[in-house]
Amino acid sequence: MRIATWNVNSVGARLPRLVAWLESARPDVLCLQELKSTTEAFPNAEVEALGYEVAAYGTGRWNGVAILSKVGLDDVKRGLVDEPRYEDAAEPRAIGATCGGVRIWSVYVPNGREPSHPHYEYKLRWLEALNTTVVAESVPGTPFAVLGDFNIAPTDADVWDISLFAESTHVTDAERKALAVLRDAGLTDVVPRPLKYDHPYTYWDYRQLAFPKNNGMRIDLVYANEKFAAEVEDSYVDREERKGKGGSDHAPVVVDLKA
């Protein structure tokens, strides 16, 4: 089974590339983030024509998540347990479903903006809700994974120059401790270094020639339980999909399971 995650940065703007990538990479399950689309406006017809079922969750603003599956789409849940609100709004940042016997969550963790911003505290509360959901959803013997844009670089090696992040989010102790809490709940990063190249970044800013310079970050992650991790036989970042005009600023991350 091939399972992937991709922050598409607008499913409408990226639809031709999304369809082409689904046809070429042929994932059984794809988690999407940053739809920038309402649930109703998601391009179901184009995706379903390729054999996928769709569960989407969006309000049309800058967030939104979805799961596409060729192997079943059952027990769909939108939102986390005890999920916090931001500025009195529930943001569509998490969706879960069971696909081919694997419990999967597609998540778009809040950015945080900067450590002094209220959005940063919201991010930390949101991560607490994610951990609560992981604990509530985990069933012994059932493969389980959380995939998506975590907006956290797990280690200093996961950013191109850690010295530039002294006053920034994505690398703070509190954010990384939230990942440690997920590990305490039984999840591990199943796309570890090294992959097929030295710096398997997943995000490059559109500005300042970040992609050609490889000034990137690894913030799109796959955290999974022992049952899932034991089935992983390969993983990669599809850096080629980031190239060219009209691409997302994120690259897809792909995990292949034995079963």
Q: Are 238 and 7 in contact (CB under 8 A)?
A: no
Report the topology of domain 2-257. Deoxyribonuclease I; Chain A (3.60.10)
pLDDT for the residue numbered 259: 73
Q: Are 224 and 145 in contact (CB under 8 A)?
A: yes
Mean per-residue pLDDT pooled into runs of 10, the chain (259 residues)? 98 97 98 98 98 97 95 98 94 98 98 94 98 94 97 94 91 96 95 64 95 95 96 93 94 94
- What is the distance between the alpha carbons of residues 194 and 41, in angstroms, rounded to a whole number? 39
Q: Where are the beta strands (DSSP E) in the chain?
A: 2-7, 29-33, 53-57, 65-69, 74-78, 94-99, 102-108, 144-149, 188-189, 203-204, 216-217, 220-224, 232-237, 253-257
pLDDT for the residue numbered 206: 95
pLDDT for the residue numbered 166: 81
Domain definitions of the chain by residue range: 2-257
pLDDT for the residue numbered 198: 61
